[in-house]
């Protein structure tokens, strides 16, 4: 290791997979090819790591002695250079550093330097022009040749073995040059294993193979989208369309147009559970030129899908937020479905928002972005109304279906009439009875798991808290235990109060388990299924449950927000919301927005088939604007009210915001460190606003105490610079500080 590079040596910039580290410079001896995006093995401290070249001509850093690259793994770019730039942007904007951001753009094993490797199947096939031979064949050999003649495409060795053709028979046939062995790449196809119809399913049952006829409104929208695509320049279009207005069909037809023009299409969906449906729709139009990218794939599946995309074999990539880094070239359209959904924000470093990254990617490549939602984020609508996006409205449902009629039930009246224990209001019970009689389905939403949310002592008023977090424990009746929904701590329900020894423990607050029990009691003959994180933990369980509902094997579905998202159930004509206000009380500036979105989405589940839908919304706050606007399906009313609140409180999107969470071993220590950072940040950010510190809403989590402050301003760059400079003065705090740029949740 010497300090000054010899003239022939090149100095390169490398992103290493170490959080908090910037780009490092290394010497690349020799004259082999060096490409931006290629992987290199480099020394780092006392170990070796695999990094990614971000620049083949780096400045020599005078402060450091350069070390030599150990090995150049790829002669060509592994990560496409424009995706390298995208990752570098993410690393800077979200203050995570380049290494962690670049890891998002690489499939798992490749981060350890593994080369492309596909699974292979050995397949037997006949040699086309076998040499004439007078040798006599045995019975087994004749059977084998017969089988191969019947299958000119070849027979996998495993199938041959299953039919009694042993390896000895095969060997002698190969020696006689009558049969040969071919090695096929076996795609580890995630759709085949997690799909609903077995390995042969290329399309979702009933999905139309061709474009379906559009309504006048849809046709107008499609024309505007196609104009945007044809322009061939960067543009963002907000497709703001009520539930059931047929946005997906527009995605499909727009994608077809892009593919015809030789451009690739990226489709982002919020959740893994939604990928099979969307992939199915795209496969029914684009066949096997559709790839999948999401974190639920096995490493092998992910590897195969990634390399298919990288080789340019696919036209459409469908996936969750990570798919925004797919190694696709010539992207013409990026579609972000349900753009408001909080799953697009990663809740660990790098804390990126895939919708915003999609926009950055499109800008760099001159592509069109389509943001679709029935309940767009305030951010997107504000951008549209400021002229930065084009807004396309779809105000009507397809097939002239009406929006569901919504009835708000004031639960205070129900309590007065039937006691404070009541969970199912009289109108809801009557409506469910009515649906059961007609053979129609009901969906019941309660966005809270468990049986009771609080176990409360009637003698001393203490409630059962998690010993590791500052939250109450939730009672789960099926497990006969109380559990913490944050750290998963669980324990048997105590007989007596831990504080006073009193024997009168009472359960308050209801969850889906309790609703399931109450619904079963009220409707003994009904077929009931509950869908929440507790019932569908295994891979494919959601899909199976959703299938059963789709086939009409269920009368009443009870669930958390899981059931509200995306899935189209034609048999559901009634939606009941148990406590519409769950979530409204949270100390989060987006509480109202979340409630409005969830209610609007779930009410939109009602009546997509031939029958009109009805929704019954139970609440203690019937006058709240989020509930009122959702009931009226009036986005504009909600937007106006919510923007007033955000403006008054100086919350996003009226200001830019960075949330900073400081952890400590005591509440006081966390507050003291946070206060120190606040002062240092404030000094460097005199024109902005630094708010706090205060104990975080979740003041203690997994035995760590948390203090929080917010940096607000108009431009993110000076805010981020000020904060990072403050952190550089207290480097020992870096491990205990979480910086979240554009936070989606501040809990």
Contacting residues toward DNA, per CB under 7 A: 18-22, 24-27, 42-47, 61, 63-67, 731-732, 735
Compare residues 24 and 369 and give the one whose CB is closer to DNA: 24
- What is the distance in angstroms between the CA of the first residue and the CA of the last residue of the chain? 48
Q: Which of 441, 431, 424, 432 shows the shortest CA–CA distance to 514?
A: 424
Q: Which two tokens stand for residue 746?
A: 């501040």
Compare residues 26 and 709 and give the one whose CB is closer to DNA: 26
Compare residues 43 and 695 and give the one whose CB is closer to DNA: 43
* CB-CB neighbours of 412 under 10 Å: 13
Asked whether the beta carbons of 269 and 240 are under 8 A apart, the reply is no
Check the CA dihedral 360-363-366-367 and report its sign. positive
Residue 597 CB, nearest approach to DNA (Å): 33
Residue 66 CB, nearest approach to DNA (Å): 5
Compare residues 101 and 238 and give the one whose CB is closer to DNA: 101
Compare residues 14 and 73 and give the one whose CB is closer to DNA: 14
Residue 662 CB, nearest approach to DNA (Å): 13
Where are the strands (E) in 281-342, listed by range?
A: 290-293, 316-319, 331-337
Q: Find residue 43's DSSP bridge partners.
A: 48
Residue 179 CB, nearest approach to DNA (Å): 48
Compare residues 7 and 45 and give the one whose CB is closer to DNA: 45
Query: What stretches of 232-298 show up as alpha helix (H) in DSSP?
Result: 247-260, 275-286
Alpha carbon of residue 19 to chain centroid: 22
Residue 546, H or E segment? helix 541-550
Residue 552 CB, nearest approach to DNA (Å): 48
Residue 334 CB, nearest approach to DNA (Å): 30
In this structure, what DSSP letter does residue 524 have? T
Residue 45 CB, nearest approach to DNA (Å): 4
Residue 71 CB, nearest approach to DNA (Å): 14
| Cα–Cα dist 730/560, whole Å | 42
Asked whether the beta carbons of 579 and 688 are under 8 A apart, the reply is no
Compare residues 22 and 366 and give the one whose CB is closer to DNA: 22
Compare residues 47 and 149 and give the one whose CB is closer to DNA: 47
| Cα–Cα dist 686/511, whole Å | 47
Residue 87 CB, nearest approach to DNA (Å): 17
Q: Which of 118, 117, 80, 83 shows the shortest CA–CA distance to 98?
A: 83
Asked whether the beta carbons of 144 and 172 are under 8 A apart, the reply is no
Residue 24 CB, nearest approach to DNA (Å): 4
Compare residues 13 and 472 and give the one whose CB is closer to DNA: 13
| Cα–Cα dist 206/739, whole Å | 46
Half-sphere exposure of 253 (CA within 13 A, CB side): 21
Asked whether the beta carbons of 266 and 327 are under 8 A apart, the reply is no
Compare residues 578 and 707 and give the one whose CB is closer to DNA: 707
| Cα–Cα dist 413/408, whole Å | 12
Torsion angle of C-alpha atoms 162, 163, 166, 171, degrees rounded to 10 = -110
> DSSP letter string over 185-243?
E----HHHHHSSS-TT-SS-TT--SSPPPPPHHHHHHHHHHHHHHHHTS-EEEEEEE-T
Residue 234 CB, nearest approach to DNA (Å): 34
Q: Which of 361, 381, 346 shows the shortest CA–CA distance to 743?
A: 346
Compare residues 66 and 170 and give the one whose CB is closer to DNA: 66
């Amino acid at each position: 290791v010497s300090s000054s590079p010899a003239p022939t040596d090149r100095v390169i910039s490398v992103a290493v997979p170490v959080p908090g580290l910037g780009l490092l410079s290394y010497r690349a001896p020799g004259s082999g090819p060096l490409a931006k995006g290629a992987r290199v093995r480099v020394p780092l401290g006392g170990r070796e790591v695999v990094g990614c070249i971000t620049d083949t001509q780096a400045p020599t850093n005078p402060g450091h002695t350069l070390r030599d690259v150990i090995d150049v793994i790829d002669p060509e770019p592994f990560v496409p250079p424009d995706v390298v730039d995208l990752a570098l942007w993410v690393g800077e904007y979200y203050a995570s550093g380049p290494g962690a951001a670049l890891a998002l753009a690489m499939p798992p094993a490749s981060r350890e330097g593994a080369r492309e490797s596909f699974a292979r199947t050995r397949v037997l096939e006949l040699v086309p022009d076998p040499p004439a031979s007078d040798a006599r064949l045995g019975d087994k050999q004749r059977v084998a040749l017969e089988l191969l003649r019947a299958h000119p495409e070849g027979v996998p060795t495993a199938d041959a073995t299953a039919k009694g053709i042993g390896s000895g028979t095969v060997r002698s046939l190969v020696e006689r040059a009558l049969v040969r062995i071919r090695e096929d790449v076996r795609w580890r196809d995630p759709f085949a294993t997690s799909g609903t119809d077995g390995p042969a399913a290329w399309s979702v049952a009933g999905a139309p193979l061709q474009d379906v006829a559009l309504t006048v409104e849809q046709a107008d929208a499609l024309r505007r989208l196609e104009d945007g695509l044809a322009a061939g320049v960067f543009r963002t279009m907000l497709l703001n369309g009520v539930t059931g207005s047929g946005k997906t069909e527009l995605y499909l037809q727009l994608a077809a147009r892009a593919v015809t023009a030789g451009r690739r299409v990226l489709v982002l969906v919020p959740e893994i559970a939604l990928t099979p449906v969307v992939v199915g729709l795209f496969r029914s139009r684009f066949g096997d030129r559709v790839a999948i990218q999401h974190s639920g794939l096995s490493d092998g599946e992910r590897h195969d899908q990634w390399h298919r995309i990288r080789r340019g074999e696919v036209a459409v990539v469908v996936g969750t937020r990570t798919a925004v880094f797919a190694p696709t070239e010539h992207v013409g359209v990026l579609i972000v479905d349900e753009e408001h959904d909080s799953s697009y924000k990663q809740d660990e470093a790098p804390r990126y928002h895939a919708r915003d990254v999609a926009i950055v990617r499109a800008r760099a490549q001159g592509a069109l972005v389509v943001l679709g939602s029935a309940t767009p984020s305030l951010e997107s609508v504000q951008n549209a109304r400021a002229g930065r996006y084009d807004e396309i409205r779809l105000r009507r449902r397809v097939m002239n279906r009406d929006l569901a009629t919504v009835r708000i039930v004031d639960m205070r009246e129900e309590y007065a009439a039937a006691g404070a224990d009541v969970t199912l209001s009289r109108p809801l019970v009557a409506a469910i009875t009515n649906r059961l009689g007609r053979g129609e389905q009901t969906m019941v939403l309660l966005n809270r798991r468990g049986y009771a949310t609080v176990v409360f002592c009637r003698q001393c008023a203490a409630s059962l808290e998690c010993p590791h977090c500052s939250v109450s424990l939730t009672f789960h009746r099926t497990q006969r235990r109380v559990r913490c929904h944050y750290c998963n701590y669980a324990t048997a329900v105590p007989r007596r109060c831990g504080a006073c020894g009193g024997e009168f423990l009472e359960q308050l607050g209801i969850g889906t388990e309790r609703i399931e029990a109450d619904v079963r009691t009220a409707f003994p003959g009904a077929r009931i299924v509950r869908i929440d994180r507790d019932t569908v933990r295994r891979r494919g369980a959601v899909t199976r449950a959703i299938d059963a509902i789709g086939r009409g094997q269920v009368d009443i579905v009870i669930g958390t927000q899981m059931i509200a998202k995306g899935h189209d159930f034609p048999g559901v004509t009634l939606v009941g919301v148990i406590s519409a206000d769950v979530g409204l009380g949270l100390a989060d500036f987006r509480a109202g927005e979340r409630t409005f979105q969830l209610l609007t989405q779930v009410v939109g589940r009602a009546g997509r088939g031939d029958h009109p839908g009805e929704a019954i919304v139970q609440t203690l706050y019937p006058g709240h604007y989020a509930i009122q606007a959702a009931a009226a399906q009036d986005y504009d009313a909600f937007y106006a009210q919510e923007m007033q609140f955000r403006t008054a409180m100086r919350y996003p999107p009226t200001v830019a915001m960075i949330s900073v969470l400081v952890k400590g071993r005591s509440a006081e220590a966390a507050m003291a460190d946070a206060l120190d950072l606040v002062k240092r940040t404030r000094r460097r950010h005199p024109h902005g606003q630094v708010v706090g510190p205060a104990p975080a809403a979740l003041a203690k989590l997994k035995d760590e105490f948390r203090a929080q402050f917010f940096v607000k301003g108009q431009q993110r760059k000076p805010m981020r610079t000020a904060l990072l400079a403050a952190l550089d003065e207290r480097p020992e705090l870096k491990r205990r500080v979480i910086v979240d740029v554009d936070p989606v949740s501040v809990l």
